[in-house]
Amino acid sequence: MRIRNFTLLLLILGLFFILPFVHAQGATEAQNIAEGKKVYDNSCAHCHGIEGRGDGSAAENLLPQPRDFTRGLYKIRSTESGQLPTDQDLFDIITEGMPGSSMPEWETALDADERWQVVAYIKTFYEGFKESETLPKEISLKGKIPYSKESIEIGKELYTQFACYECHGDEGRGDGTSAPTLTDEWDYKSWPANLHQNWNYRGGNDIDDIYKRFVGGIAGSAMPMFEDPAFGLSIEEAQRYTQLDNKGEMTDAEEEEYTQLEDKMANAFDILDLINAGEGDEEQKKFYEESMKTFYEKSWHLANYVKSLSPEKRPEAAIGKNSLRSQYVEDELPPMDDAVWDTLEESYFPLVGQVIIEPRQFNPTIDSVSVKSFYNDTEVAFLFIWDDRTHNTAEEENEDIGKTYEDAIAIQFPVKIPKGPTSPKPYFLWGGKLAVYLWQWQASAPEKTTELTAKGINNATEQEFQGDIETESAYSKGQYKLWVKRALETDDKKDLQLKPGVFVPIAFSLWDGANGDVGTKRVISSWYSFVLEPVPSVKRFIYPPIVALLSLGLLIGLRGFMQRRNTE
């Protein structure tokens, strides 16, 4: 009797566990779609449009543009080139959002059921989901090569062999020679990823994610599906081929070797074409399998290299323990290219588009500016470093990207340093009632920094008396460096006066001319603060011992005096 009761209990308990699943599965596709439509119309349609064409009311200002679901082209997939995404892919994108774009994560706003319902609904926008008889083919992650120094080295060579630099640039900052002309299939400007800032990757920055982007491509964008440029060659043979290819003159023997390698590749590509067309004999199939294995191996090395270009995680903003602390040196301050700058940690200032005052920048291209600083008894030097894919020095009419302007940066300080942390600071957008003091540098005059006073974003004037701000700058491989040096104290009342140990508010405005930045259209930071790190005085090694000794002497003296008095 007791046992039977127990079984019954188990059965009931079991039902409680199973029922929710039965229920979920029981919900028909039609129900899911109907529910999904409600969620979609509420949460997604503003950007993606009621009919899923990516033309919602908010779409106009967004770049990248919201996805047009009617084309069935999805950028972030775990499936092979030309394939539709899996349901899981769609679910993941909705859940996690797309960094560096306007697509937010929906994990907090929608529960999992709702997100799955949206998946069911957006699939209805494209017939292909219904028509395809087989499930999309997922990219296999078999044969993954562990992240190691050796692998990164091999990957670095492959980066050149695979011609990644054409768009992503020699060092990977998205500054390749093809970068300015890239658009997506909807003819919207799209910039290649800066591989040094992987927190902006739309589809995640795990090595697996990076690998999937190579193998599957990014549909609708300029990022192609890759094929091994040295298909059929081993990694060593490919290296040898590149070596010979870069050689101006070859000996006869080298010429022969080169031709042999070329023939080998041509033959391999022919086999690849056959297999792709569903033809080819057993031997050719075997050859294809082997060659693809090498290609996947190469792709893993490449993924490891790309991963290595970014810091492990996005640097923390320059506040608290990370705030900018100018370091004291006794001697002359180091010039821009001095290696001693490398000994300093960078302070990282994240930037956002200016969206308060028109014209606004909704689609910023500059992620951040990094700063280092030294000072001595009379002067201070700053090194500002930021990534910009293009070097624009003038206002120009560009056929591919429209009107471009010159690149620039302005470093902002208050004219009067607030007395304490709670004292009012000037308005962060170039001041208001309280004025700000600015250093402005423009790419057209690379060795000049102009001093401005501003009482508002549209109310800046060049200072009458231009102090002596020594300036050096350089643009190379998608990165700007600006070095400025100024006296700590000046005679001009409109200038900022600096003293060690005093926290000074600092903020930034930057302009990427190729992104249409000019005037109020720019990227900005809010107020941060920096300090000339006070030198721990040498006096601390002298006075305390003296005081200690004196006290000791005094005590001994006192004791002696007391003893004498007592004996008396």
Partner 1 sequence: MKTKMFACLALLAACGFSLIVLADNHEEEDMNKLVFPEAYKVEAVANGGKISGVVKFDGEVPEKKKLAINKDQAVCDAVAKFDESLVVGDGNVLKNTIVYLMDITKGKDFDAEAKKPELDQKECRFDPHVQIVPVGIVLTVLNSDKATHNVHIFGTKKNNTSVNKQQPKTRKKMRLSREGVAKKAEGPIEVKCDIHGWMKAWIAYVPHPYFAVTNEKGEFTLEDVPPGTYKLGYWHEVCGTNNKAPVTVKVEAGGEVKQEFTLKVEETK
Which positions lie near partner 1, rule CB under 8 A? 70-73, 81-82, 126-128, 162-163, 166-167, 177-178, 180-183, 185, 217, 219-227, 229-231, 241, 262, 265-266, 269-270, 273, 276-278, 399-400
Give the span between the Cα atoms of 185 and 166, in whole angstroms.
Answer: 19
Residue linked to tokens 């050149």? 160
Q: Which of 33, 26, 219 is nearest to 123 (CA)?
A: 33
Q: Is the peptide bond before 66 cis (omega within 30 degrees of 0)?
A: no
Q: How far is the CB of 153 from partner 1 (least distance, A)?
A: 22
Give the span between the Cα atoms of 65 and 397, in whole angstroms.
Answer: 23
Nearer to partner 1, 240 or 494 (CB): 240
Query: Which helix (H) or strand (E) segment is 240 a member of?
Result: helix 235-245
Nearer to partner 1, 156 or 360 (CB): 156
Other CB atoms within 10 Å distance of the CB of residue 550 = 10
Q: How far is the CB of 182 from partner 1 (least distance, A)?
A: 6
C-alpha angle 183-188-191 in degrees, rounded to nearest 5:
50
Q: How far is the CB of 267 from partner 1 (least distance, A)?
A: 12
Q: The tokens of 485 are what?
A: 């040096």
Burial of 512 (0-12, 13-18, 19+ CB in 10 A): buried
Q: How far is the CB of 244 from partner 1 (least distance, A)?
A: 12
Contact 295, 228 (CB under 8 A): yes
Q: How far is the CB of 130 from partner 1 (least distance, A)?
A: 12
Ramachandran region, residue 516 (left: φ > 0; alpha: ψ -120 to 50; beta: rest): left
| Measured CA distances, 229 to 171, 225, 241, 457 (Å) | 20, 12, 11, 51
Q: How far is the CB of 531 from partner 1 (least distance, A)?
A: 45
Nearer to partner 1, 397 or 568 (CB): 397
Nearer to partner 1, 218 or 454 (CB): 218
Q: How far is the CB of 230 from partner 1 (least distance, A)?
A: 6
Nearer to partner 1, 121 or 126 (CB): 126
- DSSP secondary structure string, 412-451? EEESS--SSTTS----TTT-SSS-EEEEEEETTSTT-EEE
Nearer to partner 1, 177 or 466 (CB): 177
Phi, psi of 385 (to 5 degrees): -130, 130
Q: How far is the CB of 251 from partner 1 (least distance, A)?
A: 21
Nearer to partner 1, 277 or 339 (CB): 277
Dihedral sign (CA 551, 554, 559, 562): negative
DSSP tag of 539: H
Nearer to partner 1, 397 or 464 (CB): 397
Q: How far is the CB of 428 from partner 1 (least distance, A)?
A: 39
Q: How far is the CB of 269 from partner 1 (least distance, A)?
A: 5
Nearer to partner 1, 40 or 162 (CB): 162
Burial of 469 (0-12, 13-18, 19+ CB in 10 A): middle
Q: Which of 338, 360, 348 is nearest to 311 (CA)?
A: 348
Q: How far is the CB of 400 from partner 1 (least distance, A)?
A: 6
Amino acid in the structure at residue 502: V
Q: How far is the CB of 84 from partner 1 (least distance, A)?
A: 8
Contact 54, 78 (CB under 8 A): no
Q: The tokens of 32 are what?
A: 């899911």
| Measured CA distances, 35 to 49, 121, 122, 332, 455 (Å) | 17, 8, 12, 70, 53
Give the span between the Cα atoms of 280 and 289, in whole angstroms.
Answer: 12
Nearer to partner 1, 274 or 355 (CB): 274
Nearer to partner 1, 131 or 342 (CB): 131
Nearer to partner 1, 31 or 181 (CB): 181
Residue 530 DSSP SS3: strand
